[in-house]
Amino acid sequence: MTDLSAHARRAAPALLGYAAVRALGLTVLALWSAARDKSGYTLLTARWDSLWYTRVAELGYGYEVRLPNGDIHSNLAFFPLLPWLERILAAVTPLSSADAGFLVSALASLAAAWGIFAVADHVHGRRAGVCAVLLWAVLPVGIVQSMAYSESLFTALATWSLYAVLTGRWVTAGTLALLAGLTRPVGLAVVAAVWAAGIASFVRDRRAAREGRARASEHAPSPAPGTTVPGASATRRALGMLLAPLGAAGYVLWVGHRTGGGPLGYLDVQAGWRNGFDGGYAFARFVAEKFTSSPTALAGLALIAGVAALVWLYIVCLRQGQPLPLLVYAGIVLALALCASSYFGSKPRLLLPAFPLLLPPAVALARQTTRRSAAVLGAVAVGSAVYGAFWLNGSGPP
């Protein structure tokens, strides 16, 4: 408990700053929506994917919509952890499922901010941790963090799983990876990070043991009382690795059994939504089409610049020597977002969990004076709040 209190005090500036940014975004959304005779709260809790999660919470799986073009939108595409939490909260409180989804996202977004701070603080120090959290808060699509969507819940589970890996808490890491795998398909990235770190750790241990045996004398002293037994650590590591994929694998296999599609039945469900992984071909074609007319060419250039910036940030992460689990996780999240054939307007939202990409700019910002950093983040926060309100009152997230 003492360690938790100390950690909370250390993270307090980041969490307070995050809460302030989110409050600003919600306030601007409420005012903007009221001016257009809309409800900002409805936009956060009862539109787009939020409705699908609510239907799962209230009616269970099996609901689908057949479109005129033959596509089938099935709610089996939505992983179960968020609707499970909505159903539980609605059962034990006066909240509706939609209200419960908003509450889960509000709490999960704070947990995600704390997790981002914990990881960044562990790797680059406290000041960089605060900047990383605030950068995540002021992302242009940061308003999604307050929606009854699964991004905040997933990011919270992913960040703390990665922090557990970095600090050697393997069973905790595996359990959180299991839960992340029950939240979004991109839970695969968390599983891969746990496995990559676990395998690398086993290789290091084996190499160290081999070198130790080579140096050891015939009469090596016995371990001192209380010394960690390597076998026990290896057992916990293996258990964490075994736990990690169970959530995603369990749900995917259940969907395949339910639909009769076998182990790959979930891919058929996603295909009904026109979602898939094509290596980025569809996205490249979408960008190329922007250059067929002058009015949209600028948008095409902006998309190319945005993708280039993301790739460059990942290269900087490599050059900075980020820990292996962060690199694996961020690389897979980035690849799945950019190389999926899903609706292209959703790609910024799909990149929200890729927080390790924010560590290089967070380190750079941490080197500035407090006044300069605050001015930059404050200006971007205002822009993010205005854009979020405009976005949700316009096309909105898919």
| Higher-confidence position of 283 and 79 | 79
Residue 341 has pLDDT above 60, yes or no: yes
Residues 356/120, Cβ–Cβ less than 8 Å: no
Establish if 252 belongs to a structural domain: yes
Distance, in Å, from the CA atom of 238 to the CA atom of 234, rounded to the nearest integer, reads 6
CA dist 43 → 50, 55, 82, 257, 342 (Å): 9, 16, 18, 35, 22
In the DSSP assignment, the letter for residue 219 is T
If one counts the domains in the chain, the total is 1
CB-based burial, 315-349: b 16+ in 10 Å, e otherwise? ebbeeeebbbbbbbbbbbbbebbbbbbbeeebbbb
Binned at pLDDT 50, 70 and 90, residue 396 comes out as confident
DSSP helix/strand/coil, 190: helix
Establish if 3 belongs to a structural domain: no
Q: How high does pLDDT run on average in the chain?
A: 91
- Provide the whole-model pTM: 0.93
Establish if 227 belongs to a structural domain: no
Residue 294 has pLDDT above 70, yes or no: no
- Summarize pLDDT for 144-168 with one digit per residue, the tens: 999 999 999 999 999 999 999 999 9
Distance, in Å, from the CA atom of 36 to the CA atom of 79, rounded to the nearest integer, reads 33
Q: Among 93-107, 267-281, 309-323, whose mean pLDDT is lowest?
A: 267-281
Residue 295 has pLDDT above 80, yes or no: no
Establish if 223 belongs to a structural domain: no
Establish if 36 belongs to a structural domain: yes
Establish if 2 belongs to a structural domain: no
Binned at pLDDT 50, 70 and 90, residue 216 comes out as low
Distance, in Å, from the CA atom of 306 to the CA atom of 249, rounded to the nearest integer, reads 33
- Summarize pLDDT for 362-392 with one digit per residue, the tens: 999 999 999 999 999 999 999 999 999 999 9
Q: Which domain holds residue 201?
A: 11-211+235-392
Distance, in Å, from the CA atom of 9 to the CA atom of 114, rounded to the nearest integer, reads 11
Residue 6 has pLDDT above 90, yes or no: no
Phi/psi of residue 277, nearest 5 degrees: -120, 110
